[in-house]
Structure 1
Amino acid sequence: MYGTNSLLFVVRTDLAQPTTDQAYLAEQLKLNFVQIYGLFDKISIVLNDYLEFDSNKPNYRTIWLKDRNNWRLGAHNKLVPKLRNQIVHDYVKVFLKGTGSAEYREGILFISLDDLFKKTESLLFRAHDVMLYFILFFHAEESIYRKDL
């Protein structure tokens, strides 16, 4: 399920019954997901100011999911903003056993531990890439700025 090459966690997979370790892992994944998502919001604010976008409320949706002259950095799955909002403002039930995709029932998001792990890991890889691009972008911009002085 979660191999040693994983960026997030290594967990025992030979357990027949869900354990407190798996429940703890589920809560850690939810917190990690929200923190990583917040990173995109913070970078959106900086890019909005620096590149002078016309967004009154820069965030993940307005900067990353909007096509800006074909430099789209994230046509990420539509569940990401919904999952973040559901974790922060409502309730997410994580199934510790089994696999499957997320589904809504009666205002509650049901998601498997495996699916939550994959979505968090995918967001983490995107955050890694965005941080590298962000650093390289500002390095190049500052180099141009210094040459003009």
Structure 2
Amino acid sequence: MRFSVLTLLILAALPARADEPAKGAAYWGAPSADGGRCCATLAEVRNNIDRIDRELVRLMAERQQYVGEAGRFKKDPASVGDPARVDAIIARVRADAAAQRLDPTVAETTFRAMIAAFETFERAEWGKRQAAPAK
């Protein structure tokens, strides 16, 4: 009986699969985020990602307010898209990303998707505001 309990305790301490680290252990490296103060566990990593995501959503909500305002200056929904402006934004974002040690391709891909989504929003908002009676 002793052998069985001891064996179970040892097995419980081992990773579930040979390719998984022990609970809380990383496969490689030492913490490097936040000057090496983070992250000792995957849960800590995810908590920080969730915190950042909340801030990104807050900033996107603020951006959406201004995108809605931009429609006031456009004569029709077709004038929403501005390829030259998008190119200028992407050039600036890539430079900012590189300066902040963010992969410029990640930044560009993210911004292109965000800009496309906001252009769709702006066209819809333009239509709603044109249909609403003037105040």
In the superposition, the TM-score normalised over structure 1's length comes to 0.32
More helix by share: 2
Which structure has more relative contact order (CA 8 Å, sep 6+)? It is 1
Instruction: Kindly name which structure, 1 or 2, has the bigger radius of gyration based on alpha carbons.
Output: 2
More strand by share: 1
In the superposition, the TM-score normalised over structure 2's length comes to 0.34
